[in-house]
Amino acid sequence: MGATDALHYSHALHALHREKEKREKKLEEKQRKLVKIKTRLGENLDAFLQGKHARVSDLSRAFLRQALIVDEEKKKLGALQARLAKAKSTSFASALQRH
């Protein structure tokens, strides 16, 4: 039974690690999108200040929306990293002793 518990623990730890990697990748994608919107917004603000017609309000809303999404992804990743750290701090021996 001890080997089965160790195997289960190992699989659970691996699943948490995979989930963390997926969240990190998703966060990177969301941050890239945020930077892209920020760049476009900056360019449009410059054009607007020069008296040219530029869409600023739509990009401002998109930027704020994306910033909220990035913030939420960071929170989710932080919670997952805490779970993973807690799981890693629990040794195989103590995991086996609980069962």
Q: Which of 54, 59, 65 is nearest to 38 (CA)?
A: 59
Task: Find tokens 């704020």 and name the residue.
Answer: 64
Angle at 51 between CA 47 and CA 53, to 5 degrees: 65
Count up the domains in the chain and report the number. 1
Task: In the chain, count H helices and then E strands.
Answer: 3, 0
Contact between 84 and 20 under an 8 Å Cβ cutoff? The reply is yes
Question: Per-residue pLDDT tens for 1-59?
Answer: 456 666 677 788 888 889 999 999 999 999 999 999 999 999 998 998 898 888 888 99
Question: Which three-class secondary structure state does DSSP give residue 80?
Answer: helix
Question: Per-residue pLDDT tens for 65-89?
Answer: 999 999 999 999 999 999 888 887 7
Containing structural domain, residue 41: 2-98
